[in-house]
Structure 1
Amino acid sequence: MAETYAPRRTAVLLVDPYNDFLSEGGKIWPAVESVAREVGLLDNLRAIVGSARQAGVRVVFVPHRRWEPGDYESWDHPNPTQRNIMVSHSFARDTWGGEFHPDFQPGPGEVVAREHWSQSGFANTDLDMQLKQHGISHVILVGLLANTCIESTGRFAMELGYHVTLVRDATAAFKPEMMHSAHELNGPTFAHAILTTRELLTALRGEGPAA
């Protein structure tokens, strides 16, 4: 199915662009590095964010909760990722790892949604309200991780009535099998389009619909 994107109705959701995920020396970078380098993640993210801004497509930052001392320790049932964060202190507030990658900083007027505690960027945040207040109907999900926050945010967006696009090579995961599951098995059950960066950029530039 061909896809077109009206700039005023479209937002790129940039999920968890933290140094811990995307930068050399980041706590989680070693786990995603192989897949990220194979797909050209950083260059593709740069191209998508730059092209979106140039086309007048809104870029919305969708950040994970920055860890603080005491997080999750009194919870009845923190999930496996939250239990890991309790040990690793990933995305710790007021640390380099908990800062956005230097190439992915919010521009003037760009929305930074409230931090999500688990995997969906919509659950317990203001993301849906922000998108609706800005007239957004189409969301393009990029960032980390393909099979957790990207998938959960995309599923939630579909349930809320948004048109959802996944981008195969503008995300990463710990294993190739996780990428396969996210894009070949699970993605087709909720996403309206699953594109490559090249296909998306063609559509954003208005050179024709993405196939």
Structure 2
Amino acid sequence: MKMDIGTGDALIIVDVQNDFLPGGSLPVPAGDEVIPNLNRYIAAFLFRELPIFATRDWHPPDHCSFHQQGGPWPAHCIAGTQGAAFPANLEIPCDTHIISKATSREKDAYSGFSETELDAMLKSAGISRVFIGGLATDHCVLSTVRDALNQGYDIFVLKDAVRGLDADATSAALEEMAHLGAKLIDFETIVPA
């Protein structure tokens, strides 16, 4: 299947932050491998002057998901820290729409749509097709895809630009996304004109 991108399409980069990369406090195995591929997608969307969104965990230091608060994760992506920053080699344009999530101490949020303006921003931009890549496939990517499908978007998961925390859970997440109606594609599928 070959396709083109154009009006009505947007790219969403999910949580590609330093703490989720090798050396970070919650590293996704080979998470850094998504960056060159995401940069190719970014270039293709920029070439067509299409909008780019990037979600990020933006936790308070005492977030409920952290071990210290009884949660499942080590402290990560604390707002304003280097761990929460996008990596320097991810070529995010200056006009990228940044969506901060899980900003409340009391509530965790895996999806970029959870208590954010993402849906309203996409709808106001006339977006109907969303291309999603990032970290981690088995958590935040999956949750974002589920919510995007529930909101009625046509979803394309960039299978060459996602990585998960657990191999088995990642395979199951990809199967679930496809079962729900998302299309799994890679860069060779997109033909920028």
Q: Does residue 120 of structure 1 match 2:107?
A: no
Residue in structure 1 matched with residue 170 of structure 2 by the alignment = 179
Q: Residues 53 and 97 of structure 2 are in contact (CA less than 8 Å); yes or no, is this contact kept in structure 1?
A: yes
Which ranges of structure 1 fall in alignment gaps of 5 or more residues? Answer: 73-77, 207-211
Q: Residues 101 and 109 of structure 2 are in contact (CA less than 8 Å); yes or no, is this contact kept in structure 1?
A: no
Pick from 137, 146, 158: which aligns with 2:128? Answer: 137
Residue in structure 2 matched with residue 41 of structure 1 by the alignment = 34
CA displacement, residues 147-169 of structure 1 (integer Å, 9 cap, x when unaligned): 11111111111111100011212
Q: Distance in 1 between matches of 2:153 and 2:2?
A: 14
- SS class of match (1:167): strand
Q: Distance in 1 between matches of 2:100 and 2:167?
A: 30
Q: Residues 137 and 165 of structure 2 are in contact (CA less than 8 Å); yes or no, is this contact kept in structure 1?
A: no
- SS class of match (2:156): strand
- Give the TM-score normalised by structure 2: 0.85
Q: Does residue 91 of structure 1 match 2:77?
A: yes
Q: Distance in 2 between matches of 1:126 and 1:9?
A: 18
Q: Distance in 2 between matches of 1:143 and 1:96?
A: 18
Which ranges of structure 2 fall in alignment gaps of 5 or more residues? Answer: 103-107
Residue in structure 2 matched with residue 75 of structure 1 by the alignment = none
Structure 1 residues 107, 18: closer, same or farther in 2, change over 3 A? same
Residue in structure 2 matched with residue 14 of structure 1 by the alignment = 13
- The one-letter amino acid of 1:59's match is I
Pick from 59, 62, 78: which aligns with 2:55? Answer: 62
Aligned residue pairs: how many? Answer: 187
Displaced runs of 4+ in structure 1, greater than 3 A? Answer: 2-6
